[in-house]
């Protein structure tokens, strides 16, 4: 299996969280409708650059995925990675992990990439995202304001703790698996433990590869910077000025939530986070929620448009081959 199935209690909890978040979001939109008048003031000249930046980020993410796939398995044409990765991102907008399962099946079917290697690739992709984001958070806060906090939570110790946890997690997991395995008698369970250890070793080989780590560092930096510019432009489009460094810190926190995936595409989570940001800046929560919804729409258009474009191009090629 490309991904273990979630237990029924987990599915129920996630479903309940999604319902609560959506109810709260809809309630706020309805009860504070007058605050969303900023949508009428949107300056469209800012939207096109955000669309281009979103497409640029998608391309960079494909390059990252291709880099790790080549290291852990074998070289696959970049056009194939672009196709499956883009389709997967679009599917994930509606089905949590649905796009990841789709990619696992297609890579296995067309390129012979095992599910174990795919899980290691996917885990490496997300792990480096969070690891580098935490490292960047520590660096930015140390230089900008070590005392910066959200409510009463100091952010520098938080980012530092996340960073240490991420660095130590895989070695600790291997030790725990080895310890548990000594007391197991079931051959099938021992086999599963060996498979889990193999996946973890694959991830560690990515993390220890200097070329991949440096390449990912450059690409993730470009993605974070372009995302920061995109959000800054969207805030400017509704005449809201934000502290760029504070906005960057919030975006780093949102990158943690992208990996956790509390709701489909973290619908509602990002809206409330950015709403809290603008509320903390003294502007109002509505502007942050509006910007988040605008970015969600831009991402949906870019991913959906590229997915449809790739599908249409392949259909045209098939028709041309059949006519020859």
- The confidence score (pLDDT) of residue 150 equals 80
| % pLDDT > 70, the chain | 90
Q: Give Dmax (Cα) for the chain.
A: 69
User: What's the mean per-residue pLDDT of the chain?
Assistant: 85
Give the total residue count for the chain.
324
4-26, pLDDT tens digit by residue? 445 566 666 666 766 776 777 77
Q: Could you say which DSSP state residue 263 is in?
A: S
**Residue 265, pLDDT above cutoff 80:** no
- Mean pLDDT (whole number) for 193-222: 88
- The confidence score (pLDDT) of residue 243 equals 86
Report d(CA 240, CA 238) in Å as an integer: 6
Paired tokens of 64 = 């990252």
Comparing 319 with 15, which gets the higher pLDDT? Answer: 319
Tokens 């952010």: give the residue.
155
- The confidence score (pLDDT) of residue 11 equals 61
- The confidence score (pLDDT) of residue 171 equals 84
- Mean pLDDT (whole number) for 182-195: 82
Q: Which of 221, 219, 208, 174 is nearest to 193 (CA)?
A: 174
Comparing 10 with 87, which gets the higher pLDDT? Answer: 87
Helix (H) or strand (E) holding 153: strand 153-154
- Mean pLDDT (whole number) for 50-75: 95
Comparing 242 with 24, which gets the higher pLDDT? Answer: 242
125-172, pLDDT tens digit by residue? 988 899 899 999 999 999 988 888 887 788 899 999 989 988 888 888
Helix, strand, coil share (%) of the chain residues, nearest 5: 85, 0, 15
- The confidence score (pLDDT) of residue 33 equals 65
- What own/partner pairs with CB < 8 Å and gap ≥ 24 does 30-34 have? 32/285, 32/286
Report d(CA 117, CA 113) in Å as an integer: 7
Count Cβ atoms below 10 Å from residue 289 Cβ, excluding itself: 26
Confidence of residue 36 (pLDDT cuts 50, 70, 90): low
């Amino acid at each position: 299996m490309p991904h273990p199935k979630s237990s029924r209690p987990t599915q129920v909890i996630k479903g309940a969280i999604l319902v609560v978040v959506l109810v709260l979001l809809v309630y706020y939109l309805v009860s504070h409708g007058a605050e969303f008048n900023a949508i009428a003031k949107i300056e469209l000249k800012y939207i096109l650059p955000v669309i281009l930046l979103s497409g640029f980020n998608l391309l960079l993410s494909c390059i990252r995925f291709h880099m790790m796939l080549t290291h852990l398995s074998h070289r696959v044409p970049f056009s194939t990675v672009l196709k499956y990765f883009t389709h997967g991102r679009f599917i994930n907008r509606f089905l949590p992990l649905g796009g990841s399962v789709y990619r696992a099946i297609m890579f296995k079917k067309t390129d012979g990439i095992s599910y174990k290697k795919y899980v290691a690739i996917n885990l490496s992709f997300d792990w480096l995202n969070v690891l580098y984001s935490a490292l960047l958070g520590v660096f930015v806060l140390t230089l900008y304001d070590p005392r910066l906090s959200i409510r009463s939570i100091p952010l520098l110790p938080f980012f530092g703790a996340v960073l240490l946890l991420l660095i130590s997690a895989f070695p600790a997991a291997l030790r725990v698996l080895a310890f548990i395995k000594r007391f197991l008698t079931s051959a099938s369970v021992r086999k599963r433990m060996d498979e889990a250890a193999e996946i973890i070793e694959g991830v560690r080989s990515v993390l220890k590869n200097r070329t991949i780590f440096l390449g990912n560092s450059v690409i993730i930096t470009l993605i974070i910077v372009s995302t920061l510019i995109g959000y800054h432009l969207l805030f400017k489009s509704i005449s809201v000025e934000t502290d760029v460094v504070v906005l960057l810190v919030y975006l780093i926190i949102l990158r943690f939530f992208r990996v956790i995936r509390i709701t489909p595409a973290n619908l509602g989570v990002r809206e409330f986070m950015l709403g809290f940001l603008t509320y903390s800046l003294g502007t109002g929560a509505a502007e942050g929620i509006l910007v988040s919804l605008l970015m969600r729409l831009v991402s949906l258009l870019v991913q959906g448009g590229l997915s449809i474009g790739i599908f249409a191009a392949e259909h045209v090629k098939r028709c041309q081959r059949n006519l020859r």
